[in-house]
A and B are shown apart, each in its own frame.
Chain A
Amino acid sequence: MFEKSKIILFVVIVACGVASPYVSGINPYYYDILISIGINIILAAGLNLVNGYTGQFSLGHAGFMAAGAYASAWLSLRFGYEFGTSVWATTTAFVLALLAGGIVAAVAGLLVGVPSLRLKGDYLAIVTLGFNEIIKGVIQNAEPLGAQRGLGGMVQHTTFFWTFAFAALTVYVVLSLVHSTYGRGFMAVRDDEIAAEAMGINTTKYKVLAFVLGAFFAGIAGGLYAHFKQFIHPEGFNFMKSVDVVVMVILGGMGSTLGVCVAAALLTILPEVLRYVARIDALPEWLRSIAENRMILYSLLLIILMLTRPQGLFGSGAWKKKKA
Chain B
Amino acid sequence: MKLTLALGLGLLTLGFAGCNKSGPAAEDDAGVIKVGEFASLTGGSASFGQSSHKGTVLAIEEINAAGGVLEKKLKLITEDDQSTAGQPATIARKLISQDKIVALLGEVASSKSLEAAPICQQNKIPMISPASTNPKVTEVGDYIFRVCFIDPFQGTVMAKFALSKGYKKVAVLTDVKQDYAVGLAEFFKKHLVEAGGEVVREQKYSTGDKDFKPQLTSLKAAEPDAIFIPGYYAEVSLIAKQAKMLGITVPLLGGDGWVGDSLIKVAGDALNGSFLSCHFSSDDQDPVVQEFVTKFKAKYGEVPDDMAALGYDSAMILAEAIKRAGTTDGEKLRDAIAATKDHKGVTGVITLDAQRNATKPAVILGIVDQKFQFIEKVAP
Contact = CB atoms under 8 A, between A and B. Distances in A.
Q: So, do A and B actually touch in the complex, CB under 8 Å?
A: yes
Interface of A: 1, 4-5, 8-9, 11-12, 15-16, 19, 22-23, 25-34, 36, 38, 140, 147-150, 152, 160, 164, 167-168, 171-172, 175, 225, 228-233, 235-237, 240, 257-258, 261, 272, 275, 292-295
Contacts of B136: 149, 152
A22 B176 CA distance: 44
Contacts of A23: 15-16, 18-19
B235 to A, nearest CB: 15
The binding surface of chain A is classed by DSSP as helix
B1 A4 contact: yes
A9 B86 contact: no
Nearest to B78: A292
Nearest to B83: A235
Contacts of A15: 8, 12
B179 A148 contact: yes
Given A26-B21, A29-B97, A8 B86 contact: no
A15 B14 CA distance: 13
A164 B96 CA distance: 25
Contacts of A228: 89
Contacts of B94: 29, 32, 272, 275
Contacts of A28: 93, 96-97, 119
B89 A8 contact: no
B268 interface: no
Given A28-B97, A148-B177, A171 B4 contact: yes
A32 B79 contact: no
B4 A32 contact: no
Interface in B222-256: none
The binding surface of chain B is classed by DSSP as helix
Given A28-B119, A160-B15, 4 more contacts: A23-B18, A30-B21, A172-B4, A240-B84
A226 to B, nearest CB: 11
Interface string B168-189: 0000000011110010000000
Interface of B: 1, 3-8, 11-12, 14-16, 18-19, 21-23, 41-44, 79-80, 82, 84-86, 89-90, 93-94, 96-98, 110-111, 114-115, 118-119, 134, 136, 176-179, 182
A183 B7 CA distance: 21
B233 to A, nearest CB: 19
Contacts of B97: 27-29
